[in-house]
């Protein structure tokens, strides 16, 4: 069965949902202002940008140019948060959005599902790392704090094969990959970033050593 070539119905809904996740996720991860979680897990100011991106797709003619989308995202972030994005993440977001659009067109919603899960996890991670209410009603906050508590005290740890620690580590890795905060409340986030920075340095010096004899060495820094 050949999927519809245009976005409509379920695919359009999924795509619009995906736009929200991608922009929210990126924003939540590298936010410079406090992230207040609303009912729809979105920052009110970000809602405007999400709406703009959705309507850009709905109203601009095919083919949609990724460059224009990137500019739209940059300008939107700038207007809403005074945030000037230069680290390539606007390009990343635009590419991701284009990517899921292509998938939605052919009825592939796997990545949307994944984003949905990751988005929920990230918001929860950010919330729980800043929450000091013992009786918090935020869904799964207590479970998340339980994981943090465990990770701090566990003696088996990942090396010993602890499944819980593995889970916590995975969540933190996901978060830290895009976190730009110098002082982040998420436990171990700064350790992960420090570790990544060292790997980066290592591969940079390897690159320099490699290129001295004329070879261009490509080193993959990002696993996954
Ligand atoms: Zn809480
Ligand atoms: Zn453990
Ligand atoms: Zn962080």
Residues 6+ apart with CB under 8 A from 183: 190
**Model confidence, pTM:** 0.62
pLDDT tens for residues 51-77?
A: 999 999 999 888 899 999 999 999 988
Tell me how far the alpha carbon of residue 149 lies from the centroid of ligand 2, in angstroms: 10
Tell me how far the alpha carbon of residue 175 lies from the centroid of ligand 3, in angstroms: 6
Residue bearing the bigger pLDDT, 13 or 61 = 13
Tell me how far the alpha carbon of residue 155 lies from the centroid of ligand 2, in angstroms: 7
Tell me the mean pLDDT in the region 7-33: 77
Ligand nearest to the CA of 133: 1
Token pair 């929920």: residue: 120
Tell me how far the alpha carbon of residue 153 lies from the centroid of ligand 1, in angstroms: 20
Tell me how far the alpha carbon of residue 144 lies from the centroid of ligand 2, in angstroms: 14
Q: Say what the pLDDT of residue 210 is.
A: 59
Ligand nearest to the CA of 153: 2
Tell me how far the alpha carbon of residue 56 lies from the centroid of ligand 3, in angstroms: 31
d(CA 181, CA 34): 11
Q: Please, which pLDDT band fits residue 213 given cuts at 50, 70 and 90?
A: very low
Q: Please, which pLDDT band fits residue 32 given cuts at 50, 70 and 90?
A: very low
Q: Say what the pLDDT of residue 115 is.
A: 85
Tell me how far the alpha carbon of residue 12 lies from the centroid of ligand 3, in angstroms: 32
Q: Please, which pLDDT band fits residue 42 given cuts at 50, 70 and 90?
A: low
Ligand nearest to the CA of 129: 1
Q: Please, which pLDDT band fits residue 181 given cuts at 50, 70 and 90?
A: confident
Lowest mean pLDDT among 72-76, 158-162, 175-179: 175-179
- The share of the chain scoring above pLDDT 70, in percent, equals 81
Ligand nearest to the CA of 127: 1
pLDDT tens for residues 105-140?
A: 999 999 999 888 877 787 888 888 889 898 899 889
3-state SS, one letter per residue, for the chain: CCCCCCCCHHHHHHHHHHHHHHHHHHHHHHCCCCCCCCCCCCCHHHHHHHHHHHHHHHHCCCCCCHHHHHHHHHHHHHHHHCCCCCCCHHHHHHHHHHHHHHHHHCCCCHHHHHHHHHHHHHHHHHHHHHCCCCCCCCCCHHHHHHHHHHHHHCCCCCCCCCHHHHHHHHHHHHHHHHCCCCCCCCCCHHHHHHHHHHHHHHHHHHHHHHHHCCCCCCCCCCCC
Tell me how far the alpha carbon of residue 171 lies from the centroid of ligand 2, in angstroms: 14
Ligand nearest to the CA of 171: 3
What residues pack around ion ligand 3 (CB closer than 5 A)? 179, 184, 186, 189
Tell me how far the alpha carbon of residue 208 lies from the centroid of ligand 1, in angstroms: 46
């Amino acid at each position: 069965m050949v999927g519809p070539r245009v976005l409509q119905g379920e695919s359009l809904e999924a795509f619009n949902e995906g736009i929200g996740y991608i922009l929210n996720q990126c924003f939540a991860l590298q936010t410079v202002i406090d992230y207040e979680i609303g009912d729809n897990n979105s920052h009110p100011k970000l809602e405007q940008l999400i709406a703009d991106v959705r309507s850009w797709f709905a109203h601009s003619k095919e083919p949609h140019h990724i460059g224009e989308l990137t500019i739209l995202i940059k300008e939107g972030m700038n207007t809403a948060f005074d945030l000037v994005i230069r680290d390539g993440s606007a390009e990343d977001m635009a590419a991701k959005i284009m990517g899921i659009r292509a998938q939605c067109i052919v009825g592939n919603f796997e990545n949307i599902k994944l984003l949905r899960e990751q988005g929920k996890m990230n918001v929860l991670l950010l919330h729980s790392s800043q929450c000091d209410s013992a009786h918090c009603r935020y869904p799964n906050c207590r479970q998340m704090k339980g994981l943090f508590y465990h990770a701090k005290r566990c003696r088996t740890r990942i090396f010993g094969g602890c499944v819980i620690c593995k889970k916590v580590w995975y969540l933190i890795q996901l978060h830290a990959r895009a976190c730009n905060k110098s002082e982040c409340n998420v436990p171990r986030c700064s350790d992960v970033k420090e570790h990544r920075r060292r790997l980066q340095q290592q591969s940079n010096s390897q690159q320099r050593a490699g290129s001295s004899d004329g070879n261009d060495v490509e080193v993959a820094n990002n696993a996954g």
